[in-house]
Amino acid sequence: MSKKVTVPEILGAKGKRKITELTAYDYPTALLADKSGIDMLLVGDSLAMVVLGHEDTLSVGMTEMLHHTRAVSRGASRALVIGDMPFMSYQASVEQALINAGRFLSEGRANAVKLEGGARVVPQIRAMVEAGIPVQGHIGLTPQSAAQFGGFKVQGKTAEAAKVLIDDAQALADAGCFSIVLEAIPSSIAEMVTEAVSVPTIGIGAGPGCDGQVLVVHDVLGLFDRFVPRFVKRYAKLDDLIIEALGKYKEEVEQSIFPGPEHSFVLNEQEAKKLGKS
């Protein structure tokens, strides 16, 4: 078993090597991602859309997130596991945020949590970091606030908005975040943010200038095509492979090809005789 990736290791990677992060929602995917050497596995609230079939990320709560985080933690012996705090699990009060963040570590066995927002969530982040809970920040297009943005839209497109992003990133780094996800912002702004903060930035739709990258595993593998943002690169098209395999199974069952003798159990001759079956 290889050594677990740690928070100090991620912090130390800035400027030295690129950091890799991927979402995962279940045990088999965590095992595979771990074998591929990915640094961090995020049990994202994108679970709502790519696994549970909801329209947005607002429909999952602590129960679902903890259930899936536990499964991923069981499969990830090397990668650092991050539990994504769902909508309204951290916004209402610092106390509630701290209790819920703690549950990701104690019940979900995650190594860190992620939450969306800039300066407005700094009190929550400070309380978590003081309690010994590593936190990944997330700014730019924060899907839990999509209604406020008028949809899933690129952020930081004006000089004023870019300035707010840089200030937010600095506030998150000062509050103790060990890394910050930058989602759907212009590459030049992501580069400015990356230079401005001492902690690694992890981009998704934020260009090549970030310290690392994160993608949704279903997008990488070609398993979800209901909503494919421009920043997604598909490294496989497993949907076609799966449809082909399932179609072949159906055909072989219908034509009595499966199961063949190699997939069946036989009664020994003596017992068969007793039943008049030889």
- Supply angle C-alpha 116, 122, 17, rounded to 5: 65
Cβ closer to ligand KIV: 41 or 128?
A: 41
Identify which range of 39-47, 153-161, 249-257, 269-277 contacts ligand KIV by CB under 6 A: 39-47
Asked if 39 touches ligand KIV (CB under 6 A), the answer is no
Asked if 23 touches ligand KIV (CB under 6 A), the answer is yes
Strand partners, 19: 212
For 60-88, b where at least 16 C-beta lie within 10 A, e where not — what string? bebebbbebbbbbbebbebbbbbbbbbbe
Please compute Rg for the chain using Cα positions. Answer: 23
Asked if 111 touches ligand KIV (CB under 6 A), the answer is no
Cβ closer to ligand KIV: 85 or 175?
A: 85
**Residue nearest ligand KIV, Cβ-based:** 44
**Distance of alpha carbon 174 from alpha carbon 9, whole angstroms:** 19
Asked if 34 touches ligand KIV (CB under 6 A), the answer is no
Nearest to 101 by CA among 87, 118, 84, 120: 84
CB 114 within 8 A of CB 42: yes
Distance of CA 207 to the CA centre of its chain: 19
Asked if 46 touches ligand KIV (CB under 6 A), the answer is yes
Q: Helix (H, G, I), strand (E, B), or coil: what is residue 92?
A: coil
Identify which range of 41-49, 124-132, 149-157, 244-252 contacts ligand KIV by CB under 6 A: 41-49
Asked if 216 touches ligand KIV (CB under 6 A), the answer is yes
Q: Figure out which of the listed residues 44, 83, 186, 212 binds ligand KIV, where binding follows CB under 6 A.
A: 44
CB of 245 to ligand KIV, least distance (A): 27
Residue located via tokens 């098209």: 237
Cβ closer to ligand KIV: 103 or 262?
A: 103
Asked if 84 touches ligand KIV (CB under 6 A), the answer is yes
Provide the H-helix boundaries in 176-268.
187-196, 217-221, 238-254
Cβ closer to ligand KIV: 208 or 259?
A: 208
Catalytic residue among 183, 244, 262, 271: 183
CB 173 within 8 A of CB 198: yes
Residue 149, C-beta contacts closer than 8 angstroms, at least 6 positions apart: 141, 155
Identify which range of 43-51, 121-129, 153-161, 227-235 contacts ligand KIV by CB under 6 A: 43-51
Q: What is the DSSP code (8-state) at residue 52?
A: T
- Does residue 183 have an active-site annotation? yes
CB of 263 to ligand KIV, least distance (A): 39
CB of 216 to ligand KIV, least distance (A): 5
Site string for ligand KIV, 176-215 (x = CB under 6 A): -----x----------------------x---------x-
CB 47 within 8 A of CB 68: yes
Asked if 113 touches ligand KIV (CB under 6 A), the answer is no
Identify which range of 37-45, 124-132, 186-194, 225-233 contacts ligand KIV by CB under 6 A: 37-45
Q: Which residues does the annotation mark as catalytic?
A: 183
